[in-house]
Structure 1
Amino acid sequence: MASLVFITGASSGIGQSLAWRFYQAGYNLALVARRTEVVREWMQVKGISAERCHVYGADVADVNSIVHAGQQCMLSQGLPDVVIANAGISIGMDTAIRSDLDVMAQTFATNNVGLAATFHPFIDGMCKQGSGTLVGIGSVAGIRGLPGHGAYCASKAAVISYCESLRGELRASGVRVVTVCPGYIDTPLTRKNRYSMPFLMSTDDFADRAAHTILAGDSYRVIPWQMGWVAKLLRLLPNALLDKALAGRPRKHRADEA
């Protein structure tokens, strides 16, 4: 029987490229998205068989919605071998603006609670069989805070810490937890950024390296590796030097600027 991968945020960008990469590797697909019609159109374009790919409509920011999608996956396709919590949002914020506090709550609901809710339906089954891989998609932005990007940076820092905690909890069970932190990836969202994006890479290149990391059993990886070194250097910079380096940097679009 073919292995099964469950991927959220599969209607575009990283999620779609990961789905194609795992399909090419022989995996059956369980794809989750709010825009299910987009996923089905993509399946037709790629010639993906409906026998090997099921699509589930869900909003990861709604806990009951994503948990139900996971339960339906197990009923229809069985317990996944790999679960990739990829769905996420990135919106700039200004703490002085009241509506941006709602943006922060929405970001955490999607990027953090939604990630945990994505894993939730599968943990008991994976622990009982003593195998399985849970993958959290973090970001280099979670390693050091960027001005105007507080909600996203904080949420991705939380993804990194949460996955680290979960990895320790599940260590004895045989279930692996993998944290993948992308640098700048060429997606419809990043194309709107108004600042430079060093070492920008395509979603397909990222998916190839991420899949290799996941299947190799690595616990943590920054992709591309160059951004890993940049992140380490930023982490070592004293606050005064970091603040000076980031002074005047264009900020992420806020919700009413997008």
Structure 2
Amino acid sequence: MTAAPLAFITGASSGIGQALALRYHQAGYALALVARRTDEIERWRAEQGLDPARVVVYGADVAEPDSIIAAAQQCLERQGLPDVVIANAGISIGVDTAERDDLAVFARILAVNNLGMAATFHPFILPMRARRSGTLVGIASVAGIRGLPGHGGYCASKAGVISYCESLRGELRPFGVKVVTITPGYIDTPLTRRNRYGMPFLMTAERFADKAHAAVAAGASYRVIPWQMGVVAKLMRALPNAWFDRLLVGRARKPRQNADS
């Protein structure tokens, strides 16, 4: 009997990560699910009636490299080398560079969204290269395509994800290891429900997971989901700076961590 393929997913306690976990389980994968809030994953696993033999939960903070690397090593020892690794864990908080306290918030965003992604991939790269197969999936955002006022930390981090995954893709292609960049638009999750501005083409997390799973299975190197946001992003990128700046005048900003609601 052939063993089920294995997907390792970070940030699996809610939102996109949880939807991806369910989609991959439905596709016949065994799961290695990682989050700081392991009790929430365990509760969700029981509610969904998922087979404990196919779903193993690991606790880790991706912002601490030793923590996520330890979880990855536990997965390798207990479940083996994953076929798909999805670095989904991320945070989105508004920042104001004029505020001293927000520099620490900025550092936390980069630690989770950028260093955390690299640390998630790190333990699997050499064994995947040796096996000459495997897929690393980085979850970016359309916010990484152009900078938005009040979103400096998040936009910078997601622009970094896009460039990092592109670099990694070139490094690993000769070894048969794929790197896929998935760039969500507005997805209905607890993270986006705090936004104070309109979210065009809002998509459910479940629908997003279907599209993301299909993109990875098809071997796409880069995919914006939903596709309409890809068109919008290209148009925004093409706008001259003066037009782009005028367009954003008065746009509501993402709430800061310590700001009054």
TM > 0.5 between the two? Answer: yes
Cα distance in 2, alignment partners of residues 25 and 208 from structure 1: 10
- The one-character-per-residue Cα deviations of 1:12-36 (angstroms, maximum 9, x if unpaired) are 0000000000000000000000000
Residue type of the partner of 1:163?
C
Cα distance in 1, alignment partners of residues 68 and 216 from structure 2: 22
SS of 1:105's partner is helix
SS of 2:181's partner is strand
Cα distance in 2, alignment partners of residues 215 and 110 from structure 1: 26
SS of 2:255's partner is coil
Residue type of the partner of 1:181?
T
- Number of the residue aligned with 1:115: 117
Give unmatched runs, 5+ long, in structure 2. none
Cα distance in 2, alignment partners of residues 18 and 242 from structure 1: 34
Matches within 5 A, 1:1-258: 1-257=3-259
For normalisation by structure 1, the TM-score amounts to 0.99
Give unmatched runs, 5+ long, in structure 1. none
Residue type of the partner of 1:232?
K
Residue type of the partner of 1:96?
A
Consecutive aligned runs of 4 or more in structure 1 exceeding 3 Å deviation: none
SS of 1:55's partner is strand
- The one-character-per-residue Cα deviations of 1:144-164 (angstroms, maximum 9, x if unpaired) are 000000000000000000000
Residue type of the partner of 1:129?
R
How far has the Cα of 1:189 moved from its partner?
1.2
Residue type of the partner of 1:101?
L
SS of 2:256's partner is coil
- The one-character-per-residue Cα deviations of 1:167-220 (angstroms, maximum 9, x if unpaired) are 000110000000000000000111110000000000000000000001110000
Cα distance in 2, alignment partners of residues 255 and 168 from structure 1: 36
| CA RMSD between the two structures | 0.5
How far has the Cα of 1:82 moved from its partner?
0.1
SS of 1:134's partner is strand
Residue type of the partner of 1:237?
L
For normalisation by structure 2, the TM-score amounts to 0.98
How far has the Cα of 1:101 moved from its partner?
0.6
SS of 1:178's partner is strand
How far has the Cα of 1:129 moved from its partner?
0.5
Cα distance in 2, alignment partners of residues 50 and 141 from structure 1: 36
Cα distance in 2, alignment partners of residues 105 and 235 from structure 1: 26
Residue type of the partner of 1:201?
M
